[in-house]
Amino acid sequence: MIGLALGLIFSELDETVVSTAMPTIIRELHGLALYGWVAGIYMLAVTMFMPIIGKLADIYGRKRVYLTCMGLFMAGSIISGLAGSMTWLLIGRGVQGIGAGGLMPLALVIIGESFPLEQRAKIQSLMGPLMILPQLLGPTVGGYLVGHVNWHWVFLINIPIGLISAAVMAGGMRESIAEEKRSIDWLGAATLMLALFSLLMAPVLVDNQGYSWGSPVIVGLLALFVIMTILLIIIESKAKEPIIPLHLFKNRNVVVLSLLVFVLMLGLMGGISLFPFFAQNVMGLTPTGAGYLMLAFMGGAIPSSIVNGFLITKIAYRNLFIVSFLLPIVGFFMLMNLSVSVTVLYVIISFFVLGVGLGALFGGDNLIVQESVAAKDSGIALSTVQLVQSLGATIGLSVFGSLLSRHIKEGIAGISSQLPEGAEHIETGGIPQDIAPDLLLQIRTVFTESFHNMFAISFVFVIAAFFICWFLRKEILSKKEETVSAS
């Protein structure tokens, strides 16, 4: 547990630390044109390799593959930390992403196989709250390293932490691996990676290269994704050891939870992740204040996650999810009614309510997936659901970002003649200083109405998620038998 906790914290901390340091890194490496690709390459690698690593862990053992992922993450950290150009930084981030694609899902699988169900429910309910530490420490650590040491240590600091985590895991974890030889479906793996690459490149190009969602390049990538997905289904139906076993999608809970996390991430990530933009431009908060305002969400999610961890082995999990998912509907209804003069307290309450409702997902979905499939498939089943969740979050963030930018741009067009010179791109650059109070009010009203539109879309998605919960099996989570029904 110590080794896993260290590994999870150090991989999560990397994201927030790097985000804080990116302006300095970009300035020193003269890489403004590739700014968005630093996050894009990392996200591509994480998502593309997640299911493949999960399958490899099912075949070769969790410990060996987890330590390999840790090694890849540290190797990527060294490449990034010693990078003298944007090219090497992007290569390093890609290698880091491959390693990170295995750390979180494999940690959950290892916990699942190391503890009895009731203990595991409590432990996994604490894993979500544990991830708040990187959110709190990241901006401080990143700012300190950039200001008092140099940006290279933003990456190199991962090495000693990773070595300690790997050493604890290597010495403390015991695992027996089946002797039977199992083949790897390399054709299926290559097809899956090509399908995911074509799907995920679309939002990356939209965000970083200025393509529209209707442009021929983006439509072509999405069409390639559909073709590769159909081909993947054909290959997997004939493979002896498929990279993603199709029988997983005969399992009701796996299908319902995959759909649930996809819909939630698609509808939530944009609205929640972009809210600091509203907090800074409409509420007048500092970037730090806007970021910490989001902790109200975690303030609701932490106790909710812990309570659900205790209840999920005593109450039918479908009932827990149905009751919990009423609250995101309330939370987004509140956010739909934000005004230009909204108070910090109102926003805190809104995000707290959202957090309490979504706390059921912190570990709950993973537990249900693990207990719904055979032990030999737990790695790939968990990785598949997390893959779907990652896809929803990635696409949602990109689509919502594009929608917000378009709504603000259209709203500002009517008053563009009154704006000072150089303020044509308020939707990306923020509201300029020293604007007349009446004009400032008009601009903030445009921002508020634009966010109303986004939260209205999110409201529809959380209602859909609430109804999806009704399709979960109505049973109390209990330890699975050696064989699990596909129903």
Residue 203 has pLDDT above 60, yes or no: yes
pLDDT tens digits, residue range 38-64? 777 887 788 788 878 877 877 777 788
Residue 334 has pLDDT above 80, yes or no: yes
pLDDT tens digits, residue range 437-462? 777 788 888 888 888 888 999 999 99
Location of structure tokens 């859909």: 464
**Tell me, what's the pLDDT at 483?**
39
**Tell me, what's the pLDDT at 117?**
66
Q: Please give the single-letter amino acid code of residue 203.
A: P
Compute the distance between CA of residue 459 and CA of residue 271 in angstroms, rounded to an integer.
10
The band of 224, judged by pLDDT with boundaries at 50, 70 and 90, is: very high
**Tell me, what's the pLDDT at 374?**
79
Q: Please give the single-letter amino acid code of residue 486.
A: A
Residue 431 per-residue DSSP state? P
Closest CA relative to residue 7, chosen from 127, 135, 103, 133: 103
- Give the least confident one: 52-56, 88-92, 136-140: 136-140
Rg (CA), the chain: 23
Per mean pLDDT, which of 167-171, 189-193, 291-295, 310-314 is the most reliable? 189-193
The band of 134, judged by pLDDT with boundaries at 50, 70 and 90, is: low
Location of structure tokens 């200083």: 433
Average pLDDT, the chain: 79
Report whether 185 contacts 16 (CB < 8 A): no
- What b/e sequence results for 368-377 when a residue is b if at least 16 CB atoms lie within 10 Å of its CB, and e otherwise? bbbbbbbeeb
Using a pLDDT cut of 70, give the percent of the chain over it.
Answer: 83
**Tell me, what's the pLDDT at 485?**
40
Closest CA relative to residue 471, chosen from 193, 253, 238, 227: 253
Closest CA relative to residue 131, chosen from 10, 215, 33, 275: 10
Closest CA relative to residue 263, chosen from 3, 401, 458: 458
pLDDT tens digits, residue range 9-20? 777 777 667 766
Residue 223 has pLDDT above 90, yes or no: yes
Residue 487 has pLDDT above 50, yes or no: no
**Greatest alpha-carbon span in the chain:** 75
| Over residues 401-423, mean pLDDT | 71
| Over residues 225-246, mean pLDDT | 86
Closest CA relative to residue 378, chosen from 279, 286, 251: 251
pLDDT tens digits, residue range 248-273? 888 888 899 989 989 988 888 767 77
Closest CA relative to residue 366, chosen from 29, 104, 161, 136: 104
**Tell me, what's the pLDDT at 481?**
45
**Tell me, what's the pLDDT at 482?**
39
Tokens of residue 216, six digits:
């021929």
